Structure formats: C-alpha cells, structure tokens
Structure 1
Amino acid sequence: MQRLMLDGPGALRWEDCPEPVLDSPDQALVRPIALATCDIDPAVLQGRFPLPGPYAFGHEGVAEVVAVGDDVRTVRPGDTVVVPFQISCGACPACLRGRTGNCTAHPLMSTFGLGSMGGLNWGGLWADLALIPHADAMLVPVPAGVDPAAVASASDNIPDGFRAVAPQLAADPGVEVLILGGPAAASIGLYATGLAVALGASRTVYLDTDPERLAIAAKFGAEVIEGKPDTRVGRFPITVEAAGGAKALIAAVNATANDGWCTSVSVQAKDVALPMLAMYSRCCTFHTGRAHVRPAVPRILDLVATGRFDPSIVTTSVVPWSDSIDALLEGPTKLVAVRA
C-alpha cells in the first residue's frame, strides 16, 4: 500500500509500505476516503512550526471500515466513520471523564499523523489503510446523508472550535460571542463562528484582516468586522482567540466581559504575560490546551445531520486523492482530498 510521508518543509512523497494487520480483537482496519488538513499542517509545510520529519502524514479524516477484530461491536465493514485524531482507550479514568486527549493507557499526546509530537508508531491517515486501536471507543459512524468530505475535520479542528463555544453557550444560552480570527488557527476560529451561530448565540462577531476568512464567517451569519486582533469592538461573555501571537491573546482576554470565558485555540510558541489583575477583577476564566475530541464528535455530527451547521462552508479546496501533494503545498485554508 501507499502512505504520504512528510520529510520536512515543502517536502512530501508517497511511500510504499506493508499493509497493517489486525493483531488485537479490539482493532479495526479502515480505508480513508476524505482527508482534511489541520490548521497546523500548513505551518509545518511552510516551516513556521517545528515538527521534524520524516513521518507519516495526516490526522483528520473520514474512512470506510474494511475489517474488524472479534471483539468490535459498534462498527462493521462497510461503515463510514469519523476517525478521531487522538488515540483513546475509552476505559481509563481520563477517558471515562471525557478527557480522551489525555488517555492514560498510552503515552501522552498519542495521535495519528503528527510525527514525534504524537508518537511515530501510530502512522498517518493519508494512506491506503490505517489501523485503529480501540475501535469501539474511537470510531464514530457518520449519519446517513452526511457527506464525508463535509465532516472530514470532525477528527480535530471542528471539535476544537466546538469546545470553545458550546459548553459556555450551554451554561449561558443566547449570550454574545467574539472570535478573533487569523492564520494561526484559521479553520478552528471559523468553525467556532459557525457553531456559535448554530448553538444560538444572540450575536456572533468575527474579527479578522483576511477577506477570504471574513467572507466565510459572513456565510455562517456572523457579524464580520475587518481589523487587527487588538481592535476594540466591545466586551463579550465568550471570546475565542484563533489569531495567534501575544497581542491577539491579550486582546481576547481584554475583550472578555465580567464573569466571561476566554478560550485560546491557537498554539502559543512563546510565553505570554497575561493581565492577571484585570482578569482577577473581572472574574475572567481563561482556558487553553488541546481539545478532547472524541466526546464532541457525535454532537457535531448531529448538528450537521439536522442541518443546523454546515462545516463545508469552511472548506476552500476539494481535490482528488491523486492531487494531494500539489494541493497541500499550495496551503489553502482548509483542504479536503477525496478518494473515489
């Protein structure tokens, strides 16, 4: 079989390798059919995020189940499934609490397709076949009628946007939301925007400088404002920082209202001095870190299946599987490669 390998910035190649085989009764073999780029992928390919190769590439996608172990009960060959990018057993204390990104059955940050950061032995999803451990715990069937290409990022980036707005809107229904968009977490910020609208925010404001991203946010029904992340547009009960950098992070905190919640979904490579006294005075809750993806996937698929949320609005390029390398090197906001 073939798999896509990343050797370094701007360097991708197809590699022949042995097919994976089932060696545990709880495993499944899947054939990826719609693979998406994560927001970190363009940064790695352009040398802006240090993740050395070579490693098997790809960690967001939908697949067809090819074979299952004897103990697998929730999926069967022929099913179309979302493959969460984080490896989770479903049975450890962390998984039982919904903290599947910190599964204690495997080394911390075990993921598909992120090289040394996620453990090299899990392989990548941009391949003819992928081996899924803990198939019952990990794989989520895609509802009938939902286009696999539309939910290819349900593995990672859509849940990342979901966690930034959904719990807070559940606690305070109908409040206003501000998303500071930008290149660092481009699609996550846009998914958060669409989800805020879908989940009933009374006002969803998207602030960015990029015309393409502003147009996408407007398609979701958000109020779009062109401006830098530190442009003052008021204070909001829920703020999301997706722009990257210290200025945007501080701006998001400063835009958070009394008793508000600020989530940073970008990866801050350097330490940032937060305005702690102001945060204390306003009772600001700040959260950053990796999303725990698996518990959010069924809720996202339900929103898509019922027509409340259309993640395909964020997709800027859909290409055949055979064109993957050229398309990846072009670096679109959200690329989906589809296998016939």
Structure 2
Amino acid sequence: MSEIRSLFYVEPGQVRWRSVPTPVLAADTDALVRPIVSSTCDLDRRIVTGRTPMPGPFALGHEAVGEVVAVGDAAGAAGLRPGDRVVIPWHLSCGTCVHCLARRPANCSATPPLAAYGVPLGGPHGGLFDELVRVPYAATSLVPLPDGLDPAAAVSCSDNLTDAYQGVRDAMAEHPDARVLIVGGTASLGLFAVMFAVALGAGEVTYIDKDPEAVALATRLGAAHVICGRHPERVEGVFEATVDASGSAAGLACALRSTAPGGTCSIRSVYFTDMPFPYFDMYAAGITVCTGLAQITPNVPVVLDLLRTGAVQPGPVYSAPLRFDDAPAVLLDPPRKPVFVR
C-alpha cells in the first residue's frame, strides 16, 4: 500500500485521520512495526485541548504495543523477527551512544533532541496510532513482550506506566520501606504510581487528588490512606518519599513541602514553563529532588515482569477495549486511560 492512516492533532478540539505515505525501511537497523494496541499518554489530553506549546498539525500517539512487520538486515541479525510483539518506547534512541549506555536513551546523542513519536519537538516521526511506524535502531530500542502477557495490559509501558515506575523507584531508592505520598491530578500517572509504590514495598501509601473517582481507584489499587480535595500547602504526616503527578503548581509545591527531612521528591509531571519552588522549605528540610524524561528502554523489562507476575495490575485504570476507528471522537472526551485495539 502506498498510504496508511495516521491520527492527527489538527488544532484544539480537532483530531482526524489523515493519509500519509507508507513508511519504508531506510536503514538496515530499522524495523517496520504495526501498532496493535494503542493508548493516550496523559500529555495527549492536554495536547488535544490546546494546553501545550505544540501547535498542530502533527501525528498523535506515543504509547503502543506493536507487531514487527519487516526488519532491516542488521536488525534481523540482532535477533528481531517479523511477528515479534514488542513495546515501542516513546523516544527514539540508538542504544550505543554515551547516554544510551548510561541508561538515558531519552537523551540519545545520535537522534535529534526530544525525538519521539506523537509529538513534533524532535522532528516528525509519526504517531503510535498509525497503521505502521518506522522504528530506527530497532534491535536496541524495541522491548519484546513476554510470552502470555496480554498486549492490552502492557500498552502504557511505552510511557506512563514506566514513567510511574521510574518516579517511585527514584523516590524510594534511599528509603526502601518509605511512607510514600503520591500527589495526583493527572489522569493515570498518579494512580500507576500507587501501584508501583505498593509493589516495591512501601511502608504505606497515601494518595491525594481532587477527583473522587481517582481517589476511589487509588484505594482499590492499594493506597492505605486517601485524601479527596484540593492540594494543601502540605499533607500532614511523615513521608520519606513523595511523587508529584499533579500537573499543577499547587500540587508540585504540596509534594515538595510534604517531603520529610532527608527524603526524596520525584517530579513526574511535565511542565512547559518555569515553576515556582518553595525553596526555603526544601532547603530547611534538606530534601533530594529527582526529575527528568521517562527512560523507557532500560526500565520497561522490570515493568513487564511486574505485569507478568501480577504484582502490578493496571486494568482498573484502563478503559474497556475501543475501536481505532472511533479514536478521533473518543479523544475529544476520553475515559481515564483509553485502550484502542486493532
């Protein structure tokens, strides 16, 4: 076929299918992958409503599990085969530069800065709702799906699931049995963080969000304490580890101020402007702050293993299966975590 369908963000409130040229293998390290299950990142909700500095039009989508359709000679020699089911990381990365070898593929020096599917910041690379995508450096970036694992369960490993794992792991690194505070506000990231905090052995987990449905879900996912309401200046209690998944200035400040002396706050929300920090409170407590892009390729194997064993079960956050054809309408008023099955 000479053209495929690609889901485009056009302008605020407009999402449409467009025909684009069919991707081809451009290097022997490439693979062509057909997304078979796709979802939206929490960021996509802001894109569709025009709340990011990224004007359309551009192809949407950077969370998907796909099936390999074709491979270049080098990718095939490295063991990648047509028919393999794989997680497609949101970021493009070579796997061999200094940053990739240091487990920071989202900062790959061989690709343009912020090169990704579904956003235009590092160039056009298609979106993971497309019928077919070209994956450069495929053998070192794609991650095989374990046998028997439902692709729909792993769909968010491309970004939000692994992002939440990274945030919780970083927050708990110096405090393995920490009392953890998750400051929610995004659609799925905070709820995923609750699951990982429980799975990684947190002493107890507290979740705060003004969305009653999210608070109820957090309880179902293992939070010992929940708070429904606006973010206060700080949450009472001792929290050696905190995670900001709020997407708001008030939530960020709450997470930072609520971190116990000597504790760690992991900022997983994406902010496109400079944010005010409660510096003196942070200075007085002597906390550590972690932030940065979600590094998918080196971290997703651990997430997949937690899914495979049932230690983490994101099903309650996902929607029932939806049709790809319905994506333009669904994305204008999406469920918490829509899952589209091709």
TM-score (norm 2): 0.94
CA 1:255–1:7: 2 relative to 1, 3 Å: same
Once the two structures are superposed, residues 13-55 of structure 1 have per-residue CA deviations (whole angstroms, 9 ceiling, x without a partner) of 1112221111211110111000010011111111222321111
Deviations 1:171-206 (A, max 9, x none): 322111100111xx3311111111101111110111
Does the 8 Å contact 1:206/1:214 carry over to 2?
Answer: yes
Q: Output aligned runs, 1:31-110, within 5 Å.
A: 31-72=34-75, 73-110=78-115
Distance 1:58 1:272 in 2: 26
Unaligned runs of 5+ in 2: none
Match for residue 221 of structure 2? 220
1:301 aligns with 2:304: yes
Alignment partner of 2:235 out of 232, 236, 242: 232
Q: Deviations over 1:45-90 (max 9, x none)?
A: 1122232111111111000011111111232111110000100100
Is residue 11–residue 56 contact of structure 2 (8 Å, CA) maintained in 1? yes
Measured in 2, the distance between the counterparts of 1:16 and 1:276 equals 49
Deviations for 1:120-159, whole angstroms, at most 9, x for unmatched residues?
Answer: 2x11111111100001111111111211111111001111
The SS at the match of 1:300 is helix
Q: Map 1:1-340 onto structure 2 (within 5 A).
A: 1-72=4-75, 73-115=78-120, 117-120=121-124, 122-182=125-185, 185-223=186-224, 224-230=226-232, 232-339=235-342
- Structure 1 contact 151–312 (Cα < 8 Å) conserved: no
Structure 2 residue matching 1:291: 3-state secondary structure: coil
TM-score (norm 1): 0.95
Q: SS of 1:161's equivalent?
A: helix
Contact 1:31 1:65 in 2 (8 A): yes
Work out the CA distance in 1 between the residues paired with 2:253 and 2:266: 11
Shift of 1:248: 1.4
The 2-side partners of 1:294 and 1:229 are apart by 33
Question: 1 CA distance for matches of 2:48 and 2:291?
Answer: 24
Query: How far is the alpha carbon of 1:220 from its aligned partner?
Result: 1.1
Shift of 1:11: 1.1
1-side partners of 2:55 and 2:278: how far apart?
A: 34
Structure 1 residue 331: deviation in Å?
A: 2.4
TM superposition shift of 1:209: 1.3
Partner-residue secondary structure (3-state), 2:188: helix
The answer (yes or no) to whether the contact 1:186–1:243 under 8 Å persists in 2 is no
User: How many residues of Structure 1 are paired with residues of Structure 2 in the alignment?
Assistant: 335
Look up the SS of the partner of 2:47 in the other structure.
Answer: helix
1:28–1:132 CA contact under 8 A, matched in 2: yes
Cα separation, 1, equivalents of 2:254 and 2:18: 44
Aligned mates of 1:15, 1:37 — CA distance in 2: 18
CA distance in 1, matches of 2:195, 2:93: 27
C-alpha contact (below 8 Å) 1:317/1:334 kept by paired residues: no
Q: Identify the range of structure 1 (53-62 vs 89-98) with the bigger mean alpha-carbon deviation.
A: 53-62
Tell me if the contact between 1:30 and 1:67 (Cα under 8 Å) persists in the aligned partners. Answer: yes
SS, match of residue 118 in structure 1: coil
CA distance in 2, matches of 1:294, 1:204: 27
* Cα shift at 1:317: 4.6
List runs of 5+ in structure 1 lacking aligned partners. Answer: none
Amino acid paired to 1:102: N
Tell me the SS of whatever aligns to 1:312: coil
The alpha-carbon deviation at position 170 of structure 1 amounts to 4.3
